[in-house]
Amino acid sequence: GIQVEQSPPDLILQEGANSTLRCNFSDSVNNLQWFHQNPWGQLINLFYIPSGTKQNGRLSATTVATERYSLLYISSSQTTDSGVYFCAVRGGAAGNKLTFGGGTRVLVKP
Amino acid sequence: DGGITQSPKYLFRKEGQNVTLSCEQNLNHDAMYWYRQDPGQGLRLIYYSQIVNDFQKGDIAEGYSVSREKKESFPLTVTSAQKNPTAFYLCASRASGGGEQFFGPGTRLTVL
């Protein structure tokens, strides 16, 4: 099946810093989503972005489908940005299933 | 409110007992999914259903069973055959024809 790799696995930031999270995938995709998992376990939808660039406040994302990667940008980080960020894709032979990466654990220090 | 609800939030069971986790959605979505998450790990697919009265095994279906008798409901039963059932279970749904997938708040199952 399709493989999804996220980097870095862990990220420690000082409040106000910017950062970039990366998601690489092994096959063509027709869906790519970024999620933020909060401390209570809830998965919050950040972006639905199979291609192109989107922005939502301090967060933005870019997917380059032809090169099989996506980037999530966090600008002016806040302590509430802490948590785990997951990339998930749907595509390849398993077109009906969303496959998750291992996540990037982010800690923003005040 | 539109959304996905899961109950209970926390569940404790003794070894050898079957337990059923509830998932309900009022988004009129055709597809529903069950995932398992272990501490520090990503999500793994247990079962999914694209339409009422039909479902398929995911990557880790052994020891689990599901039913899809209604569009709104997709309960998951964790059977005594599941060797290591303690985990966080997440239900999700998606409209047919592709698009964004949404998740419920999850159920934490602990086997005592």
State the amino acid at position B31 in one-letter form: A
Rounded Cα distance, B32 and B95, in Å: 9
Pairing outcome for strands B64-66 and B31-37: unpaired
* Chain A residues touching B42 at Cβ < 8 A: 86, 100-103
How much is the pLDDT for B7? 92
Q: What is the mean pLDDT of residues B85-106?
A: 91
- CB-CB neighbors (< 8 A) of A98 in chain B: 33, 45, 92, 101
- Chains A, B: CB pairs < 8 Å: 53
**Predicted confidence band of residue B81 (pLDDT cuts 50, 70, 90):** confident
Structure tokens that stand for A94 in this block:
């398993």
Given pLDDT bands bounded at 50, 70 and 90, which one contains residue A40? confident
Is B47 within 8 Å of B72 (Cβ atoms)?
no
C-alpha A63/C-alpha A85 separation (Å) is: 16
Q: Is residue B1 predicted with pLDDT exceeding 60? A: no
Query: Would you say residue B92 has pLDDT above 80?
Result: yes
Q: Are B44 and B35 in contact (CB under 8 A)?
A: yes
pLDDT given at position B2: 65
